[in-house]
């Protein structure tokens, strides 16, 4: 190009600027997501929908599913030491960040302290091992997977989570499978109120009293097994409502849960179900249909657990 042909639009500076802007736009649009976020009691935000990865293998299939989910717009992965797939989750997240130019803080990562690791020091060891397996510097959320029966151990684990949060190893801390008595006991002894309680919640297992207690104390409900593990997709009430809205039964189950303000964690390794689960939130169930669904059940656990879960 001759010097006379250099105009403001063709100058190298302009070209470099345009290139930079294109890269920035690309990384911005790839990290943008339509999933709503919810504010936790510690001021942090949590994407309302997560990809659950219970029973997902520690290999390529899970990596591909997580990348499909992130490409589709999920920004939250729910794993656990117990699921033995933290390496695959970490690899997938790092690959996706590299591919898109998105930043670590664009993906919300949760893991959980397994039952055999309760106690103050054991909790730190377990958390460090989880971080190593993910290949990450911090987790967005770390949960006690289920309450230790020994109260002292349970409280020591919680104190370790409080310290880990102070140290920046985890942004938010919470519990899972805590019943009302565990929550009340923790509230009497904790410095930090848990940000979430992750429990089985779906239209057939609504657990109103526990939900109310958590709501009253600013503890967000994370609904696990929100698809009732696929066992209730033939239910006639759910199917009639699905037909009325032109949605799938799975989408009705997920929409109902999100309409209560819960974080929902549908698990799938199938790209098209990952996508259709994410499309569960772009419509509103009528008050009457919500009442009909509310009448379905209150304590029908599909995970076979009461407050204690093996998963």
Distances (CA, A) of 69 to 11, 138, 207, 274: 40, 21, 29, 6
Residue 274 exposure: Cα atoms within 13 Å on the Cβ side: 23
Candidates 192, 250, 252, 285: give the one binding ligand NAP (CB under 6 A): 250
120/225 Cα distance (integer angstroms): 29
83 vs 96, beta carbon nearer ligand NAP: 83
Among the listed residues 54, 74, 83, 245, the single catalytic one is: 83
> First vs last Cα of the chain: how many Å apart?
65
53 vs 100, beta carbon nearer ligand NAP: 53
Total residues contacting ligand NAP by CB under 6 A comes to 29
**83 is an active site residue:** yes
85 in contact with ligand NAP (CB under 6 A): no
265 in contact with ligand NAP (CB under 6 A): yes
178 in contact with ligand NAP (CB under 6 A): no
267 in contact with ligand NAP (CB under 6 A): yes
Query: Binding mask 219-238 vs ligand NAP (x if CB under 6 A, - otherwise)?
Result: -----xxxxxxx--x-----
Query: Is residue 113 classed as helix, strand or coil in its secondary structure?
Result: strand
Residue 228 exposure: Cα atoms within 13 Å on the Cβ side: 25
The strands making up 51-52's β-sheet, listed across from edge to edge, are: 51-52, 76-78, 108-113, 139-144, 170-176, 196-200, 220-224, 263-264
Candidates 35, 54, 153, 190: give the one binding ligand NAP (CB under 6 A): 54
Alpha helices in the chain (DSSP H): 12-31, 60-72, 86-100, 120-134, 151-167, 180-189, 208-216, 236-245, 249-259, 271-278, 287-294
156 vs 309, beta carbon nearer ligand NAP: 309
101 in contact with ligand NAP (CB under 6 A): no
Q: Is 145 known to sit in a ligand binding site?
A: yes
8 A C-beta contact, residue 100 and residue 145: no
247 in contact with ligand NAP (CB under 6 A): no
Q: Whole-number minimum distance, CB 290 to ligand NAP, in Å? A: 19
User: Would you tell me which residues interact with ligand NAP (CB under 6 A)?
Assistant: 52-54, 78, 145, 176-177, 198, 224-230, 233, 250, 265-270, 273, 276-277, 303, 309, 311
Catalytic residues: 83
């Amino acid at each position: 190009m001759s010097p006379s042909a250099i105009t403001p639009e063709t100058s190298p500076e302009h070209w470099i600027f345009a290139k930079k802007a294109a890269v920035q736009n690309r990384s911005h649009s790839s990290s943008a997501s339509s999933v709503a976020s919810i504010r936790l009691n510690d001021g942090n935000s949590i994407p309302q929908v997560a990809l659950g990865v219970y029973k997902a293998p520690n290999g390529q299939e899970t990596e591909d599913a997580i990348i499909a989910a992130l490409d589709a717009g999920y920004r939250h992965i729910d794993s656990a030491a117990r699921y033995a797939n933290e390496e695959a989750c970490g690899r997938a997240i790092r690959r996706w960040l590299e591919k898109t130019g998105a930043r670590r803080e664009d993906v919300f990562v949760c893991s959980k302290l397994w039952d055999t690791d309760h106690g103050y020091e054991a909790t730190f060891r377990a958390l460090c091992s989880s971080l190593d397996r993910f290949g990450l510097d911090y987790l967005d959320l770390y949960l006690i997977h289920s309450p230790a029966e020994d109260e002292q151990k349970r409280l020591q684990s919680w104190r370790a989570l409080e310290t880990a949060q102070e140290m920046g190893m985890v942004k938010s801390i919470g519990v899972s499978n805590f019943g009302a008595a565990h929550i009340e006991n923790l509230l009497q002894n904790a410095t930090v109120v848990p940000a979430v309680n992750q429990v089985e919640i779906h239209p057939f297992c609504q657990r109103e009293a526990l939900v109310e207690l958590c709501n009253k104390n600013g503890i967000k409900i994370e609904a696990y097994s929100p698809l009732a593990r696929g066992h209730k997709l033939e239910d006639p009430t759910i199917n009639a409502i699905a037909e009325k809205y032109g949605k799938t039964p799975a989408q009705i189950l997920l929409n109902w849960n999100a309409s209560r303000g819960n974080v929902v964690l549908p698990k799938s390794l199938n790209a098209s179900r990952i996508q259709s689960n994410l499309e569960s939130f772009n419509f509103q169930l009528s008050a009457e249909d919500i009442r009909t669904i509310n009448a379905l059940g209150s304590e029908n656990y599909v995970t076979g657990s009461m407050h204690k879960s093996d998963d």
